[in-house]
């Protein structure tokens, strides 16, 4: 079974993000870049599928030269090879999805996996947009997956608010992984050494013939407002309740 895993490199969630003076991006100096955590669940699921059914795992990523580090980590986890779409430009989500879908078409596949969302922009759109580009069924926020190879069908359990939903669908398909689907493995030293010799195919974004004019334009990035200092109430309980109600009504405006 051939599985494509689409990964994104993002700033580590513990990184202190600073916005550039022009408001058009973040200051990248000193940032620790990692594989998007939800994409790690997708990589692990692909590895488990290969262990059960055999086949090949191809990791696909898009970005500047620094994405090589994320690709090598995915290969060290156990993926067979990788394709990198090289682009130093800022692309909108539609362009990214179009590029990834074009590479997927060229590669061929039985299943496409990716994380439910990236932790930097939280858009959660790439998986569904790739599925739309390829005219494929898709299931998002998957927490359990069974594969019926004989009938070429999937049984995916997905997380809803206060419930779970079970979806059956044919494959090829696109699935997005949620935390709880599995526990990603750590790369072992032998696999880290093997990763250095695995194939990494490089494709320029321009060679894919995709419109370079973005449909979405970034106006301005601004930091979140600073949180006010907390109000601590220590008076008589009856008075404290009265004051609390007033604060909730007049300051917090929640009642």
Q: What is the pLDDT of residue 16?
A: 84
**Is 18 in the same domain as 137?**
yes
Cα distances (Å, whole numbers) of residue 136 to 88, 127, 154, 171, 238:
29, 11, 13, 8, 61
- The answer to the question of residue 217 being in a domain is no
- The dihedral formed by the CA atoms of 213, 119, 2 and 73, expressed in degrees to the nearest 10: 110
Q: How many separate domains does the chain show?
A: 2
In the chain, the percentage of residues whose pLDDT exceeds 70 is 100
Could you read off the pLDDT of 171-183 as tens digits, one per residue?
999 999 999 999 9
Could you read off the pLDDT of 47-83 as tens digits, one per residue?
999 999 999 999 999 999 999 999 999 999 999 999 9
- The answer to the question of residue 215 being in a domain is no
Q: Which pLDDT band, with edges at 50, 70 and 90, does 99 fall under?
A: very high
- The answer to the question of residue 158 being in a domain is yes
Residue 85: pLDDT above 90? Answer: yes
Prediction pTM value = 0.86
- Alpha-carbon gap, residue 150 to 170, rounded angstroms: 11
**Is 50 in the same domain as 117?**
yes
**Is 249 in the same domain as 189?**
no
Domain harbouring 170, CATH code: 3.40.50.620
* Domain around 14: 2-208
**Is 111 in the same domain as 235?**
no
Mean of pLDDT values over 85-97: 90
Q: Which pLDDT band, with edges at 50, 70 and 90, does 118 fall under?
A: very high
**Is 237 in the same domain as 124?**
no
Mean of pLDDT values over 93-97: 94
């Amino acid at each position: 079974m051939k599985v494509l895993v689409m990964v994104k490199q993002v700033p580590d969630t513990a990184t202190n993000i600073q916005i550039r003076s022009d408001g058009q991006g973040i200051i990248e100096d000193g940032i620790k870049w990692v594989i998007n955590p939800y994409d790690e669940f997708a990589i692990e699921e692909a590895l488990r599928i290969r262990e059960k059914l055999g086949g090949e795992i191809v990791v696909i990523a898009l970005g500047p030269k620094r994405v090589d580090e994320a690709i090598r980590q995915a290969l060290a986890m156990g993926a067979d090879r990788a394709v990198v779409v090289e682009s130093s430009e800022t692309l909108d989500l539609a362009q990214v999805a179009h590029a990834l879908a074009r590479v997927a078409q060229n590669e061929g596949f039985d299943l496409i996996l990716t994380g439910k969302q990236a932790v930097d922009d939280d858009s959660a759109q790439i998986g569904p947009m790739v599925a739309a580009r390829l005219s494929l069924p898709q299931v998002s926020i998957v927490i359990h997956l069974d594969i019926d190879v004989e009938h070429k069908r999937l049984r995916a359990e997905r997380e809803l608010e206060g419930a779970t939903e079970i979806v059956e669908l044919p494959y090829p398909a696109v699935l997005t992984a949620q935390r709880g689907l599995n526990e990603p493995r750590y790369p072992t030293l032998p696999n880290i050494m093997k990763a250095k010799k695995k194939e990494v195919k490089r494709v320029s974004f321009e060679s894919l013939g995709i419109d370079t004019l973005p449909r979405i334009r970034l106006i301005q990035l601004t930091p979140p407002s600073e949180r006010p200092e907390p109000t601590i109430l220590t008076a008589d309980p009856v008075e404290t309740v009265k004051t609390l109600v007033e604060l909730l009504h007049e300051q917090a405006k929640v009642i």
